[in-house]
């Protein structure tokens, strides 16, 4: 059993998607993807660490090489070596004796190898870049770097890296920050065996610049991508949301019924799902209008058809109260009984016509053998004498099979109505032919009579409800005028057609032709 609390939680989580417009959702999906892509900006911190690691190794190697050179250089030549290396490498070199006192400083010999930048003198863009650096460090939780300061008394003990290198005999590298927050790399190493120590200092501003350049390039790419993504998202939203809104407005107007001629846009230029939806809604609206028109017309026709026998019945009953003549009373009673039967027949046929569509929409079709169905019906009519002396013959044309998918009861009703119509128009002693013919993809059922035929201009009208063109000698009111209309409704519900044509054998009479699709055989 599902947990109601989990279902309620899932429902609450879906609320925002129901209340958020499609445009916002499309933008959100694209911007979130870009946001994840923008997270790559933070990986520039690892790029900076890699650059610092390389520089640490380089600083250690430079210090060790310089220490080796100093150990091999006579004392008198050390100043020249300091000046040459400091100037060429922009590297500050300091040499301390065994007692920790400073004995050589390249800045004092040949001037500063580099100059720290005063943050107050930097332009606006550099100040912004530095604030971005701080923000990135804060977001990533980067440990603060101690500021670089020259000690008041420049001795070995004033520099932790020198003290550590002196104690361990191994080169040590330490990072500090210049006033403009660029890296300052100190490397300390022992010189020779006399206890002297060397300290190299470099302001690696290029590392900061490389990281900023990479961040700027990536930021520009992301900004351009974001703009393009927003434009594409808005374009996509317009191509989806605007036609959907137009369809919604049209559907609302159709529902409210304020505009009879509301046109649901079909969007014929669109071949995607929106176009399919638009055309489906348009077709559905047209079908709905036709159905509503049909219901209105049917209601009007019903009222008209029932009024006639009701008026006759009312007149007969009102007159019956005033008539003393027994023969006339008997005649009026017969008229009233006839009108009651007519009303009963009308109500029955109307109810049948009204529920056909609904029932067929829920019916599960099965394979129906029209030959067997027609044979049983023709035999049953002959047994009960329901053809008024007309001969009804079943003539299959060809071996068949004559199997169609459908509702057996409803297809029997079609055949019954067609035969009833043919019998009513055929002269006494005439015949009615029922033929079946199997074609490539459908079965043709034809019912031919020997009556006067149907004029070309009336061949569609005979399928209208309450059509009243009947034989002159027929008892008035014996037919409701719904038989052929019901038959066509059932045939069309089976994806077939029912039409009226002339007989194809040159004889007088009409031919009602029903064509039904054959049963599709399953692949073995």
Alpha-carbon gap, residue 284 to 89, rounded angstroms = 83
Alpha-carbon gap, residue 79 to 109, rounded angstroms = 7
Three state DSSP letters for 220-288: HHHHHHHHHHHHHHHHHHHHHHHHHHHHHHHHHHHHHCCCCCCCCCCCCCCCCHHHHHHHHHHHHHHHH
Domain count, the chain: 3
Alpha-carbon gap, residue 272 to 295, rounded angstroms = 34
Q: Are residues 194 and 84 in the same domain?
A: yes
Residue 233 lies in a domain: no
Q: What's the pLDDT score for residue 302?
A: 63
What separation, in Å, do the N-terminal and C-terminal C-alpha atoms of the chain show? 41
Alpha-carbon gap, residue 66 to 200, rounded angstroms = 9
Residue 33 lies in a domain: no
Q: What is the CATH number of the domain that holds 93?
A: 3.30.450.20
Q: Are residues 183 and 275 in the same domain?
A: no
Q: What's the pLDDT score for residue 520?
A: 63
**């309620």: which residue's tokens?**
8
Q: Are residues 500 and 380 in the same domain?
A: yes
The parent domain of residue 493 ranges over: 364-524
Nearest by Cα to 348 from 302, 415, 292 = 302
Nearest by Cα to 262 from 241, 279, 282, 287 = 282
Q: Are residues 59 and 189 in the same domain?
A: yes
Three state DSSP letters for 156-213: HHHCHHHHHHHHHCCCEEEEEECCCCCEEEEEEEEECCCCEEEEEEEECHHHHHHHHH
Q: Are residues 317 and 395 in the same domain?
A: no
Alpha-carbon gap, residue 76 to 56, rounded angstroms = 30
Residue 24 lies in a domain: no
According to DSSP, the residues that pair with 499 across neighbouring strands are 513
Alpha-carbon gap, residue 197 to 207, rounded angstroms = 27
Final residue of a structural domain among 319, 338, 362: 362
Q: How many residues does the chain have?
A: 524
Residue 243 lies in a domain: no
Q: Is 167 exposed, middle or buried (0-12, 13-18, 19+ CB in 10 A)?
A: exposed
Residue 238 lies in a domain: no
Final residue of a structural domain among 314, 345, 362: 362
Alpha-carbon gap, residue 291 to 296, rounded angstroms = 9
Residue 209 lies in a domain: yes
Q: Are residues 426 and 357 in the same domain?
A: no
370, 372, 378, 383 alpha-carbon torsion, rounded to 10°: -160
Q: What's the pLDDT score for residue 319?
A: 77
Q: What's the pLDDT score for residue 301?
A: 61
Instruction: Please enumerate in sequence order all residues whose Cβ is within 8 A of that of 159, keeping only pairs 6 or more positions apart, or say none.
Output: 151, 186, 188, 199
Cβ atoms of 184 and 192 within 8 Å: the answer is: no
pTM of the model as a whole: 0.48
Instruction: Record the tokens describing residue 482, joined without a space.
Output: 């719904």
Q: Is 473 exposed, middle or buried (0-12, 13-18, 19+ CB in 10 A)?
A: exposed
Q: Are residues 54 and 190 in the same domain?
A: yes
In 10 A of CB 77, how many CB atoms?
12
Q: Are residues 380 and 482 in the same domain?
A: yes
Segment-wise mean pLDDT, segments of 10 residues, the chain, 524 residues: 51 50 68 64 75 92 91 88 90 92 91 89 86 81 89 91 91 92 93 89 90 81 78 76 81 70 76 80 79 67 66 74 75 76 70 65 82 87 75 84 87 86 82 87 88 81 66 48 79 87 80 85 44
Q: Are residues 325 and 201 in the same domain?
A: no
Residue 367 has φ and ψ, to the nearest 5°, of -75, 125
Q: Are residues 357 and 369 in the same domain?
A: no
Residue 251 lies in a domain: no
Q: What is the CATH number of the domain that holds 325?
A: 1.10.287.130
Q: Are residues 304 and 285 in the same domain?
A: yes
Nearest by Cα to 83 from 53, 67, 107, 49 = 107
Residue 107 lies in a domain: yes
- DSSP H or E stretch at residue 41: none
Q: How does strand 391-397 pair with strand 431-438? A: parallel
Nearest by Cα to 447 from 408, 420, 407 = 420
Instruction: Go through 254-276 and write b for each residue having 16 or more CB atoms within 10 A of its CB, e for each that does not.
Output: beeeeeeebebbebeebeeebbe
Q: How wide is the angle at C-alpha 50 spanned by C-alphas 46 and 55, nearest 5°?
A: 145
Final residue of a structural domain among 215, 230, 251: 215
Instruction: Record the tokens describing residue 476, joined without a space.
Output: 């008035």
Q: Are residues 394 and 342 in the same domain?
A: no
Q: What is the CATH number of the domain that holds 470?
A: 3.30.565.10
């Amino acid at each position: 059993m599902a947990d109601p609390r989990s279902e309620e939680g899932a429902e609450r989580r879906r609320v925002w998607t129901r209340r958020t417009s499609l445009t916002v959702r499309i933008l959100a999906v694209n911007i979130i993807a870009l946001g994840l892509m923008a997270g790559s900006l933070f990986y520039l911190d690892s790029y900076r660490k890699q650059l610092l690691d390389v520089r640490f190794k380089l600083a250690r190697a430079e210090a060790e090489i310089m220490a080796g050179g100093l150990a091999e250089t006579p004392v008198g030549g050390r100043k020249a070596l300091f000046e040459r290396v400091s100037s060429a490498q922009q590297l500050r070199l300091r040499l301390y004796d065994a007692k920790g006192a400073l004995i050589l400083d390249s800045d004092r010999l040949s001037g500063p190898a580099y100059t720290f930048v005063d943050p107050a003198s930097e332009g606006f863009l550099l100040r912004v870049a530095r604030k971005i650096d701080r923000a990135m460090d804060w977001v990533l939780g980067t440990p603060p770097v101690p500021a670089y300061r020259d000690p008041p008394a420049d001795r070995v003990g004033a520099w932790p890296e020198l003290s550590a290198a002196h104690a361990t005999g191994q080169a040590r590298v330490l990072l500090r920050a210049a006033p403009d927050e660029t890296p300052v790399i100190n490397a300390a190493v022992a010189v020779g065996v006399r206890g002297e120590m060397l300290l190299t200092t470099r302001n690696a501003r290029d590392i900061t610049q490389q990281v900023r350049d990479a961040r700027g390039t990536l930021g520009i790419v992301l900004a351009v991508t974001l703009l393009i993504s927003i434009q594409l998202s808005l374009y996509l939203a317009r191509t989806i949301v605007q036609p959907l809104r137009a369809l919604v407005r049209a559907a609302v107007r159709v529902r409210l019924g304020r505009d009879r001629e509301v046109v649901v846009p079909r969007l014929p230029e669109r071949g995607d799902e929106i176009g399919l939806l638009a055309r489906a809604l348009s077709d559905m609206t047209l079908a709905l209008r036709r159905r509503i028109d049909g219901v209105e017309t049917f209601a009007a026709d019903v009222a008209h058809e029932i009024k006639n026998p009701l008026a006759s019945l009312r007149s007969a009953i009102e007159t019956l109260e005033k008539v003393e003549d027994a023969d006339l009373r008997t005649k009026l009673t017969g008229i009233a009984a006839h009108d009651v039967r007519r009303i009963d027949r009308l109500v029955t046929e109307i109810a049948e016509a009204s529920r056909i569509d609904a029932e067929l929409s829920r019916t599960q079709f099965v394979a129906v053998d029209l030959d067997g169905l027609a044979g049983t019906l023709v035999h049953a009519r002959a047994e009960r004498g329901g053809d008024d002396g007309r001969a009804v013959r079943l003539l299959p044309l060809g071996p068949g099979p004559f199997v169609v998918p459908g509702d057996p009861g409803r297809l029997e009703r079609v055949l019954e109505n067609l035969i009833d119509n043919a019998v009513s128009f055929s002269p006494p002693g005439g015949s009615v032919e029922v033929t079946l013919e199997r074609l490539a993809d459908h079965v043709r059922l034809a019912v031919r009579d020997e009556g006067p035929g149907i004029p070309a201009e009336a061949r569609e009208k005979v399928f209208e409800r309450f059509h009243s063109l009947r034989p002159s000698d027929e008892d008035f009111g014996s037919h409701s005028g719904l038989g052929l209309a019901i038959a066509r409704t059932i045939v069309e519900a089976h994806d077939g057609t029912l039409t009226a044509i002339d007989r194809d054998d040159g004889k007088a009479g009409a031919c009602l032709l029903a064509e039904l699709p054959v049963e599709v055989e399953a692949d073995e």
